[in-house]
Amino acid sequence: MNTNLSGKIVLITGASSGIGLALTHQLLLEGAQIIALIRTGFPEDDTAIQAAIGTRQLRVYQADLSDFTSLKVALEQIKNNETKIDLLYNNAGGSFPELMLSKQGRELHYELQTVVPYIITMELMALLKKGTLKRVVHTSTNAFKTMKRFDPETLDHPAQFKMLFGPYAASKLALSLWTQELAPHLALEGIKMITVDPGGNNTMRKGKQSGIPFYLKPIIRLFFPHPSKGASLLYQGALGDHIPGAYLTKNKLVELKFVQHAPRVLEKVRAIYEYMYKEVGK
């Protein structure tokens, strides 16, 4: 087991806010180099972040990750400019207050939190293989533990929308399912991939709409920990010795629900990557 990430090159999506920002701070202090793939810029008044950008310890690539054209440009820049990646955190995401579609026409939670992590992982595989850790950690959730049913065929266009426990939870479950299905195959190539539930964190921001039900907001404000708590769980997950495809809650292996659907979920995201994303710009 590795003891820290000092000197390692770590790519973090969604690094400019919430858990991603807390993780970025932690790793910069430890001496890691950070590649940030983000939609919105870092806070200008964050002196530690701005100093790291100035020294290029933190290198920023901006894109709307749910827009394949924008994503492809940023990933090509990363592949052209960076020499290797030791650890990839697919962390970008969040819950939305209503049914929304991506630029490609699929439900936005699903596109951003199930499909895009697959695309990023596949596109950056060559850089990961040049790294020393060769690890991929996807940010998942435990919100799906209350789900009574799961149908992969409705992920693209769900018939109903429910805050937090609807498409958001389903997209994170789908992420963990395809990870569990694919991870043993990537392990044969030296890549270890897992999903981690960072637990409840107070990631609410003023002026930003979210898909958190109104009755949960005061509970989150009063009782949920700072995002550094979730960041520490993502950190521990990356350094732990876990089976390929593990889903971790509180840094412990937990069995997934609806595992019979894992092959179909992987088939769906792989098809989007092969027949839609790869055709962008051609």
Q: What is the pLDDT of residues 210-235, one digit of tens each?
A: 655 545 555 556 545 467 788 999 99
Rounded-to-integer distance, Cα 77 and Cα 150, Å: 37
Of 255, 66, 282, 250, nearest to 74 by C-alpha is 66
Under the banding of pLDDT at 50, 70 and 90, the label for residue 200 is low
What count of other Cβ atoms lies within 10 Å of the Cβ of residue 51?
Answer: 12
Strands 247-249 and 252-253: antiparallel
Six token digits for residue 2:
């590795």
Q: In the CATH hierarchy, which fold is given to the domain comprising 9-198+227-279?
A: Rossmann fold (3.40.50)
Q: What is the pLDDT of residue 209?
A: 56
Q: What is the pLDDT of residue 202?
A: 43
Of 133, 255, 261, nearest to 195 by C-alpha is 255
pTM for the model: 0.92
**Residue 207 pLDDT > 80, yes or no?**
no
Burial class (CB in 10 A: 0-12, 13-18, 19+), 99: middle
Helix (H, G, I), strand (E, B) or coil at 88: strand
Instruction: Give the helix ranges, DSSP H, for the chain.
Output: 18-30, 47-55, 68-81, 108-110, 116-123, 125-130, 167-187, 217-223, 228-239, 262-275
Q: What is the pLDDT of residue 1?
A: 47
Rounded-to-integer distance, Cα 254 and Cα 263, Å: 19
Would you give the distance in Å from CA 169 to the centre of its chain?
A: 14
CB of 146 within 8 A of CB of 168? Answer: no
SS3 content of the chain, % helix, strand, coil (to 5): 45, 15, 40
CB of 8 within 8 A of CB of 32? Answer: yes
**Residue 251 pLDDT > 70, yes or no?**
yes
Averaged pLDDT for residues 20-30? 96
Mean of all residue pLDDT scores within the chain = 91
Helix (H, G, I), strand (E, B) or coil at 31: coil
What count of other Cβ atoms lies within 10 Å of the Cβ of residue 217?
Answer: 13
Averaged pLDDT for residues 258-274? 98
Averaged pLDDT for residues 171-186? 98
Could you read off the pLDDT of 107-155 as tens digits, one per residue? 999 999 999 999 999 999 999 999 999 999 999 999 999 899 999 999 9
DSSP string for residues in 155-201: SSS-SS--TTTTHHHHHHHHHHHHHHHHHHHHHTTT-EEEEEE----
**Residue 56 pLDDT > 70, yes or no?**
yes
Could you read off the pLDDT of 74-113 as tens digits, one per residue? 999 999 999 999 999 999 988 888 999 999 999 999 999 9
Sheet containing 87-90: order of strands: 58-62, 33-38, 9-13, 87-90, 135-139, 192-197, 247-249, 252-253
Under the banding of pLDDT at 50, 70 and 90, the label for residue 194 is very high
